[in-house]
Structure 1
Amino acid sequence: MSEPFTTGSEDVDTAMGRLQDHARRQDWDLVIGLTELPLHDQEGRHLLVDTDSDRQTAVLSLPALGGFRMRIRARRAVRSLVSGMADPSTNDEHRVALPRARGRWRLLLGMVLANRPWLLVPGLKSALVAALATGAVATINSTVWLLAGSMSWWRLVSASFASVALVVAWLVIDGELRDRPDDDSPQARERSRLYNASTLMTLLVGVLICYAALYVVNLAWAFFVLDPGVMGGYVKVPIGHGDLFVLAWFVASAATVGGGFGSGLESDEAIRAAAYSKREQDRRDRLERDRSET
């Protein structure tokens, strides 16, 4: 069975209580809950799995598995949990905490992959149209040819970093994607930092994928419509086919910024839907409703 977790279910005791309620109502011998939320104990440690003292209930945090080969790792973990819970000789409470530093990065990676950052740009249609239009127009602009040819490699790299950072910052601000802690406790602040870090990494990966795709599209467009000899005669500078790669690089930076501002035509709900997985979006919507009711 599947159901959304309510506010506060990032706390492992709350999650365990929900699972035990289901076990009593359904008369189950054992129950294992899988969640896409990160789990924490009372000390603020990130957890992979926790079982109750009777070995009848367990909860497994999928992001803590690391994101890669998620289905295979989840099956192995569930089989191990079932075997342990079914063995009457082992009835002690078992709580697996992730290592402080390395575990946090693994959890963060799992949260980012759960958000599917490769679907960010297709989910923002206005941004995609704006980026493609900016690239198409810039490619055939003679001023852009001169600017691209005059820029050193480190300035091109700086322009790439600046364009990606600008778009990420714009999406966070325009879409109101910053997570706020529920209270002033260290645990709540740590959870918010984790969610905000996963949001930034999701957007960063998504925008980088967009940047690479724009580079390929603009390069293909440049080779299709531009003749280096004609370009060189127009701007009075020798231009070869190799210069088209530099041109596409510069245009990709401009197109990325154009796409970022094009996302301003999208609603906040559309930006959140593109940036988050469905379950994470539902979690944030419930948090906002709970805050508004209180």
Structure 2
Amino acid sequence: MLMQTTTRVLEPGDLGAALAILESDPVANAFVTSRVQIAGLDPWRLGGEMWGWYADGRLRSLCYSGANLVPICATPEAVRSFADRARRTGRRCSSIVGPAEPTARLWQLLEPHWGPARDVRPHQPLMVAERMPDDIAPDPYVRRIRKDEMDVIMPACVAMFTEEVGVSPLAGDGGLLYQARVAELVGAGRSFARIEDGKVVFKAEIGAATNQACQIQGVWVAPEHRGKGLSATGMAAVLRYALADVAPIVSLYVNDFNAPARACYRRVGFRETGAFMSVLF
């Protein structure tokens, strides 16, 4: 018997079913889950649409379509359906990001229509930690950034973003959206740094956060301070804050070609549990 499938934009009444799927993989889905838990499924509040793929009347897979296009628990059949919808609506996102396998399938279907991408990162190890390392003491000078320190943290955030993504976050709207996001993390107490002589020498943020898992992002050491071990002790400090105040599982994903970062995270006790993929436009 043929399976009946359909894809549609989810509505606020679908929240329970959507959260059940999102929470089935709290680490991989932390980014989207954190947004849905705060904003629900209303597109205006969520900052995008949530597409749902149904098989025989049951919601099985999701795809977040906003500034990022993110396949969630997406089967090959769901990916084909999401790709069809994305082709019809046209590209509105600045990146496609998600678990490597479905994201690769999605990009394979969309590349003839949306390509070429500015950059494709096919394998970004997803790493998790659930306890503090035994042999690395947290940097005692890494602390939460205060709201009155936005002018101190912003240059480091811009430098990190530009180095990591390849374009400045100040392009386009002059950095208004990016500055608002940094301010949001500072206001939530999830921006951390070591500051010396008024300048940031190490920084990181806890980006996505749910009760089950959170994700560290934006790890950066000022170029003139690299090679001194600040990243390992700094990461240990941020990990301590995350485990104590945010969630029992702390995750991050890293470019596979960034060998020093991967070695640092392993030293701090992170282990690889999967992989993400990013397509940047």
TM-score where L is the length of structure 1: 0.23
Larger radius of gyration: 1
Structure with the larger helix share = 1
TM-score where L is the length of structure 2: 0.24
Structure with the larger strand share = 2
